Amino acid sequence: MTSQPAAPERQRDAERTKAEILEVARQEFARHGYAGARVDEIAARMRTTKRMIYYYFGSKEQLYIAVLEKAYAEVRETERVIEVEHLAPVAAIRALAELTFDHHDLHQDFIKLVAIENIHQAEHIRKSQALANLGTPVLDLISRILDAGMASGDFVTEADAIDVHMLISSFCFFRVANQHTFGALFGRDMTAPEHRARLRAMVGDMVVAYLRGADI
């Protein structure tokens, strides 16, 4: 409305609106799945209208993909921060395991989105340019730790970086992703605070024990 910085303000508003839509959409998709999420519900939970969702994202599917892209981008941003280079191999792999644990603990919506995306056989990820080859950095990191550990004699088990990544991820992911069925069947909420420290140590112990391997 003022004479000068109108366009930039508008842009900033537009960005804010888009960000708000993405935030609400992430929650809605995470809670109800792709098909179960309601465009109406997303709109109802915002101060903008449903029309804006289509204006900015074009369709429910494209909105969902944008949510996925943002979630993965945040994960990789976190992983980039990890500095395990200066640590000894055993300490390094344990640090990676614990950081992964912490990250999964902190980003439960992301975990749910990944689970949802697997139900849809990753069809949306494959449609997204932004999500191709997003995995390589962490694999490089693991490779370097494994090489150092084998060289130093700390690790004995011959292991592949992708396998080790899966070993770590599976534990951290399952604890969050399957908390509800696990809780219903075994009567224990693995994400409750009283189990946190023990399970965090466990994933580190597990991967170190596996790599040390010895005479199993």
Partner DNA sequence: GATGAATGAGAATTCATTCAT
Partner DNA sequence: GATGAATGAATTCTCATTCAT
Residue 99 touches which of DNA, a copy of itself, none (CB < 5 to 8 A by kind)? none
The tokens of 23 are what?
């935030």
Rounded (10°) CA dihedral 21, 137, 117, 169: -120
Contacts of 134 (CB under 8 A, 6+ apart): 72, 76
| Residue 17 binding: pick among DNA, a copy of itself, none (C-beta 5-8 Å cut-off by kind) | DNA
Q: Rg of the chain over CA atoms, in angstroms?
A: 21
Contact in structure between 134 and 72 (CB atoms under 8 Å): yes
CB of 34 to DNA, least distance (A): 9
For a copy of itself, which is the closer residue by CB, 92 or 114?
114
Provide the CB-side half-sphere exposure for 99 (13 A, CA): 18
Residue 116 site contact among DNA, a copy of itself, none (CB < 5 to 8 Å, cut-off depends on kind): a copy of itself
CB nearer to DNA: pick between 37 and 176: 37
Footprint (CB under 8 A) of a copy of itself, residues 75-114: 112, 114
Sorted by sequence, the CB contacts under 8 Å of residue 28 that are 6+ apart come out as: 37, 38, 41, 42, 45
* One residue of 70, 82, 179, 200 binding a copy of itself per CB under 8 A: 179
Among DNA, a copy of itself, none, the one that 182 touches (CB under a kind-dependent 5 to 8 A) is a copy of itself
Among the candidate windows 41-49, 52-60, 98-106, 182-190, which touches a copy of itself by CB under 8 A?
Answer: 182-190
Residue 216 touching a copy of itself (CB under 8 A): yes
Distance, CA of 48 to CA of 181 (rounded, Å): 36
Task: For the beta carbon of residue 37, count every other beta carbon within 10 angstroms.
Answer: 21
Count CB atoms within 10 A of the CB of residue 141: 20
Question: By the criterion CB under 8 A, which residues form the site for a copy of itself?
Answer: 32-36, 112, 114-122, 125-126, 131, 133-135, 139, 157, 162-163, 165-167, 169-171, 173-175, 177-188, 190, 198-199, 202, 205-206, 208-210, 212-214, 216
